[in-house]
Amino acid sequence: MTACRLFVIVVAGALLMAADAAAQVSLTPPGLEPPATTKAAPNPKAKAPGFVKKPPATEAKPAPPAPSAAAATAPAPVDSNADLVYGAYQRGLYKTAFDLANAKAQVGDVKAMTMLGELYSNALGVKRDYARAIDWYKRASDGGDREAMFALAMMRLSGRGGPVDREAAVKLLASSAKLGEPKAAYNLALLYLDGQTLPQDLKRSAELLTIAADAGNPEAQYALATFYKEGTGVPKDLTKAAQLLQAAALADNLDAEVEYAIALYNGTGTPKNEAAAIELLRRAAKQNSPIAQNRLAHVLVGGRGTPIDLIEGFKWHLIAKTAGNGDAQLDERFAQLSDADRTKVEDLVRLWFGTLARK
């Protein structure tokens, strides 16, 4: 993969990443082909060949979003027994968190300062005020808080609260990454991959992704897996790529889950395990991944590694097709179904979308 192709992962602004589902290649019998990934994303201890996914969270993933998001996540507590601010934040008691953080910030607590920046930036318990968010993030950054440095860098990159200042953002990301902030290392890696804000340096990008991946950042694990799969900035290593995909999948990175399933199905970089792969595809399909839905449709319709199930298989085909992931081969097979079976499939599709609408 060329650097230009790989950098389709980097989107405008500070987020700089996303896989285009429409760019994924279709599954070709008799095996599952890996998707033509456009999204680059700790674990040498990743288990193989099987895959046991951690139980799903009982609630939606917390805001602010994943490490590539423009807003910083809430600061980690310094002392879990004393950090009432962070405890209030976690429980959604944002006004309480604000009051407590404000009192602690007045006596120089940098973590409290970072929390105030977080609350002002995201309008949590207080009216959104980017100027005040920047002020508190800057105070905390000057006090050496790596989370504040990262948050302020992302604001500078996105132009929230002032003009875009990429030079200042890069310095802040570098300082934060040096202090061990994986989100900063990940985003700095993307800037080195981009080649616009910083001179393109694939080796340096891979080094920074490694730092973030080793710290457990799933986006970095997925990106680094792509690097190892393609030999970009690192020697090509399909085994390492599969280990990283598994680690990212365990951390609920949906794209990594799909690619790891495909690697398991084909035995690419990991022992072949069709049963585990199909289970992962089902899981990802239920999370509304069009790629997984398309691959699962082929598996079920073709009976490859599992009994043939035309009704369920074509259900996933039509769902994936609705999301723009069409498949002419499956269309031809679907047209051969009896009227009764087509009705069964269409009823299941309507049920699926009805369930999604109620969520």
pLDDT tens-digit map of 273-300: 999 999 999 999 999 999 999 999 999 9
Question: For residue 5, what pLDDT is reported?
Answer: 40
pLDDT-derived band at 308 (thresholds 50, 70, 90) equals: very high
Instruction: Let me know if residue 176 belongs to a domain.
Output: no
93 found inside a domain: no
pLDDT at 345 over 80: yes
Our CA angle for 278, 283, 288, nearest 5°, is 120
Assigned domain for 338 exists = yes
* pLDDT value of position 283: 96
Q: Is position 336 within any domain?
A: yes
Residue 218: the pLDDT is 97
Residue 239: pLDDT over 50: yes
pLDDT in the model for residue 32: 57
Phi and psi at 85, nearest 5°, equal -60, -50
CA distances in angstroms from 353 to 241, 296, 335, listed in the order given: 34, 18, 22
Reported as a pLDDT band with limits 50, 70 and 90, residue 83 is confident
Structure tokens at 350: 């309507």
Q: Which domain holds residue 316?
A: 288-359
> Is 184 within the bounds of a domain?
no
**The pLDDT of residue 357:** 75
Residue 33 has a pLDDT of 56
Q: Is residue 353 part of a domain?
A: yes
Task: Report yes or no on 274 lying in a domain.
Answer: no
In 3D, which of 275, 251, 277 has the Cα closest to residue 264? 277
- Give the pLDDT confidence score for residue 35 in this predicted structure: 52
Residue 12 pLDDT: 29
Domain count, the chain: 1
If pLDDT is split at 50, 70 and 90, which confidence band does 34 have? low
Is residue 356 a part of any domain in this protein?
A: yes
DSSP string, 55-67: PPPSSPPPSS-ST
- Give the whole-angstrom CA distance, residue 341 versus residue 144: 64
Taking residues 7-32, what's their average pLDDT? 32
